[in-house]
Amino acid sequence: MKAMVLNKTASLAENPQPLELTELPDPVAGDNEVLLKVRTCGVCHTELDEIEGRLQPPRFPLVLGHQVVGEVLQAGKKVTLHRPGDRVGVGWIDSACGHCRYCLEGNENLCAEFRATGYDNNGGYAEKMVVDERFAYALPGSLSDIHTAPLLCAGAIGYRSLRLTELKNGEPLGLTGFGASAHLVLQMASHLFPDSPIYVFARNPEEREFALQLGAAWAGDTTEFPTLLLDAIIDTTPVWFPVVSALERLAPGGRLVINAIRKEDVDKDALLQLDYPNHLWREKEIKSVANVARNDVIDFLKLAAELNIQPEVERYTLEDANRALVELKNKHVRGAKVLVIDETGRQGNG
């Protein structure tokens, strides 16, 4: 099978072609696994963290990719949830122990044995992959392959982030950054909290205009102040300055939820600007998001189908994965980027 393979870490500035097109043996499904023919795979900023070493891969070579739509080709002999021909999705969570306190609570993302797709095991930047049957999700038929891929991480982790804000209808919500995850959060928040105005902070004027087109009440630069303080803000950026900036824009008792696995170091000096009276006093909170649990993906997919949440996508071939990653790194983003690997599925209009 063809795969785009990571063999070492380096900054994209040093190596703008970090993935190598390689022929690999077809993977074999274990007893509790399914073998998938990959149709589409979303491109996520976490892949940049892996490539550049902020999230150090446990081994090389490695196939990245954790927003996967595929067709079941083969089911292991103990598999009961899926059968050949089923259309399924795979997200960042590859597996967990299933019996610890966190797994029993439905928070597998906090399990000490959490394993990640495209990190601990090979992912979807390939023609085929295997996954534990418990973490392959039946997909609603109303969404095309290309539009479903970003929902499996950017959408699901945005859904968890929104839940963690504990927002109440009518309370204003802020979003810092406006890429793959934030543009989905805006759509779901508009439906779930119809009386809550949404304020978007983004450096890129095109992203701000996109946010207004999707229904944001206000869009400004990260350095600007809206006309009121916000009850909750979700940070979806890869850097630190928007975190400090967002804290200053929170109302007393407000909560900042940081939706990121890693932060880049390019502006880490921004943390030196953290000022307790201005940024944290008056019972403001900071909460991080640690990946996603199974129910986040399952519940969000149902919500996306019910509300017809549609990500805006840019499509690339598997061989174009390096170009997609460089464009993501350089902030050439409107919505989400998706690799289309098999054209025979339900592609929709990309």
- CATH node for 156-288: 3.40.50.720
- State how far the Cα of 184 lies from the Cα of 245, in Å rounded to an integer: 22
Give all strands of the β-sheet with 2-6 in edge-to-edge order.
Answer: 19-23, 2-6, 62-63
- State how far the Cα of 1 lies from the Cα of 128, in Å rounded to an integer: 7
**How does pLDDT run across 180-232, given as a tens digit for each residue?**
899 999 999 999 999 999 999 999 999 999 999 999 999 999 999 999 999 99
- Fold of domain 2-153+292-340: Quinone Oxidoreductase; Chain A, domain 1 (3.90.180)
For the chain, which residues make up each domain, given as ranges? 2-153+292-340, 156-288
DSSP string, 37-83: EEEEEEE-HHHHHHHTTSS--SSSSEE----EEEEEEEE-TT--S--
Judged against a pLDDT cut of 90, whether residue 262 lies above it is answered with no
- State how far the Cα of 110 lies from the Cα of 112, in Å rounded to an integer: 6
Q: How much of the chain exceeds pLDDT 90, in percent?
A: 89
**How does pLDDT run across 138-182, given as a tens digit for each residue?**
998 888 999 999 999 999 999 999 999 999 999 999 999 999 899
Q: What is the pLDDT of residue 270?
A: 86
SS3 262: coil
- Is it true that 2-153+292-340 and 156-288 share their CATH fold? no
- Other Cβ atoms closer than 10 A to 101: 9
Judged against a pLDDT cut of 80, whether residue 96 lies above it is answered with yes
Judged against a pLDDT cut of 50, whether residue 349 lies above it is answered with no
Q: What is the pLDDT of residue 334?
A: 82
Mean pLDDT of 95-124: 96
Q: What is the pLDDT of residue 347?
A: 53
Least Cα distance to 193 among 172, 175, 215, 169 occurs for 169
Judged against a pLDDT cut of 50, whether residue 339 lies above it is answered with yes
Cis peptide before 61 (omega within 30 of 0): yes
Q: What is the pLDDT of residue 342?
A: 93
Radius of gyration (C-alpha) of the chain in whole angstroms:
20
Q: What is the pLDDT of residue 350?
A: 41
Q: How much of the chain exceeds pLDDT 70, in percent?
A: 98
Query: What's the chain's average pLDDT?
Result: 94
Q: What is the pLDDT of residue 346?
A: 62
Stated pTM of the model: 0.91
CB 121 within 8 A of CB 94: yes
Least Cα distance to 133 among 99, 61, 84 occurs for 84
**How does pLDDT run across 266-321, given as a tens digit for each residue?**
888 888 888 999 899 999 999 999 989 999 999 999 999 999 998 999 999 999 99
